[in-house]
């Protein structure tokens, strides 16, 4: 990474350091039966003491290093201790465990996600999956990498009928699920497609687009901490992110995210029915 004199190199270095520390905390308790699992909105929306401890670890570290920066973290926002509000200030957007349901079930698709937005755009992103031994990072303008190897989105798949797609059912359990399922049915009926995968981690789905392990990922309703870091990782691997209409993706919108090599999104768009519920 040739970015000497660029402060983002230092931001990346610190994000990588604390992501690794956070990953060790997760790995140390991974095989234990989780105690104190709390339900947030519903049975699909869980939090453990490890989610909270990891978020605190990351913020304590970054606050000491960068006291003038702002912070958004899933569990602090859930507790009402923090606002989910992005300003022009340097803002760290953190998901301490993306894939809490997996974590509770000892399923290895869990990741720490640390993104840094500057002027409301992600400049640095780190996604670390400790149980998979995968560390992804990206810096705007300088590429994205998995364990040091430069990433590229899939180039040969340009027809959605051949695509391997990742999506999620999300963490809502209300009537919106009907549309989520209808969209999957539409995609299967219309395009057939090679396959559909749900890993249970938005961040890892995004990173799989970046590495070419899947060709397209879309989901309705992710929060900024789910995708802030991985957003720059996809871009720097040559991918695009849009909403379900093919317009620019806004990570604060909580609408759809579609991430792909540039050929597939416009083929997906006609198959997706928009969901508009009060947020
Ligand atoms: C969830 C995961 C899941 C996605 C949900 C997210 P969490 O994050 O990324 O894949 O479908 O929308 O809330 O709660 O495990 O951090
Ligand atoms: Ca959660
Ligand atoms: Ca998440
Ligand atoms: Ca989380």
Distance from the CA of 29 to the center of ligand 4, in angstroms? 16
More confident residue, 162 or 274: 162
Nearest CA to ligand 1 atom 5: 170
Distances (CA, A) of 255 to 8, 37, 203, 234, 276: 29, 28, 16, 18, 8
> pLDDT class for 274, splitting at 50, 70, 90?
confident
Contact 151, 136 (CB under 8 A): yes
Distance 98 CA to ligand 4 centre (A): 4
Residues 202-243 have pLDDT tens digits of 999 999 999 999 999 999 999 999 999 999 999 999 999 999
Q: Cα(20)–Cα(128) distance, rounded to whole angstroms?
A: 7
pLDDT digits (tens, 9 = 90+) for 78-98: 999 999 999 999 999 999 999
pLDDT surpassing 70 at residue 277: no
Global pTM reads: 0.96
**Average pLDDT of every residue of the chain:** 94
Two tokens, residue 90? 């340097």
Query: Residue 278: which pLDDT band, with cuts at 50, 70 and 90?
Result: very low
Q: Does the Cβ of 222 fall within 6 Å of ligand 1?
A: yes
For 16-30, write each residue's pLDDT tens digit. Answer: 999 999 999 999 999
pLDDT tens column, 130-183: 999 999 999 999 999 999 999 999 999 999 999 999 999 988 889 889 999 999
Nearest to 27 by CA among 108, 137, 113: 108
Nearest CA residue ID for atom 2, ligand 1: 201
The residue nearest atom 4 of ligand 1, judged by CA position, is: 170
Most ligand 1 atoms within 8 A of CB, residue of 26, 43, 171, 184 to mutate: 171
* pLDDT confidence bin for 279, thresholds 50/70/90: very low
Which residues, including other chains, have CB under 8 Å from residue 85's CB and lie 6 or more apart? 72
- Beta bridge mates, 126: 114, 137
Atom of ligand 1 nearest to the CA of 98: 16
Q: How far is CA 140 from CA 116, 137, 202, 233, in A?
A: 11, 10, 20, 8
Of 111, 108, 109, 68, give the one whose Cα is nearest residue 92.
Answer: 68
Q: Any catalytic annotation for residue 135? A: no
Q: Which of 114, 144, 92 is nearest to 22 (CA)?
A: 114
- 219 CA: nearest ligand 1 atom: 11
Task: Choose, from 74, 215, 236, 243, the residue flagged as catalytic.
Answer: 74
How much is the pLDDT for 7? 93
Distances (CA, A) of 16 to 49, 143, 145: 23, 15, 12
How much is the pLDDT for 4? 57
């Amino acid at each position: 990474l040739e970015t000497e004199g660029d402060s983002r190199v230092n931001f990346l270095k610190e994000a990588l350091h604390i992501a690794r520390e956070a990953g060790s905390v997760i790995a140390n308790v991974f095989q234990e039966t989780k105690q104190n699992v709390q339900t947030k909105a519903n049975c699909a929306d869980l939090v453990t003491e490890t989610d909270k401890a990891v978020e605190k670890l990351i913020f304590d570290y970054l606050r000491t290093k960068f006291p003038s920066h702002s912070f958004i973290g899933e569990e602090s926002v859930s507790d009402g201790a923090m606002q989910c509000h992005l300003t022009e200030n340097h803002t760290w957007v953190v998901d301490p465990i993306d894939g809490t349901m997996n974590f509770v079930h000892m399923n290895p698709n869990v990741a720490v996600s640390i993104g840094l937005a500057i002027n409301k755009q992600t400049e640095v992103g780190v996604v670390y999956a400790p149980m998979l031994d995968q560390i992804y990072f990206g810096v705007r303008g300088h590429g994205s990498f998995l364990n040091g190897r430069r990433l590229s989105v899939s180039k040969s798949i340009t027809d959605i009928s051949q695509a391997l797609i990742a999506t999620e059912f999300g963490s809502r359990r209300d009537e919106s699920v009907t549309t989520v399922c209808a969209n999957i049915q539409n995609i299967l009926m219309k395009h057939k497609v090679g396959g559909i995968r749900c890993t249970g981690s938005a961040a890892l789905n995004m990173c799989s687009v970046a590495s070419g392990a899947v060709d397209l990922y879309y989901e309705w309703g992710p929060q900024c901490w789910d995708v802030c870091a991985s957003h720059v990782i996809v871009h720097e691997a040559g991918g695009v992110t849009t909403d379900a209409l093919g317009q620019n993706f806004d990570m604060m919108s909580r609408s759809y995210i579609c991430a792909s090599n540039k050929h597939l999104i416009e083929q997906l768009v006609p198959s997706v029915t928009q969901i508009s519920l009060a947020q």
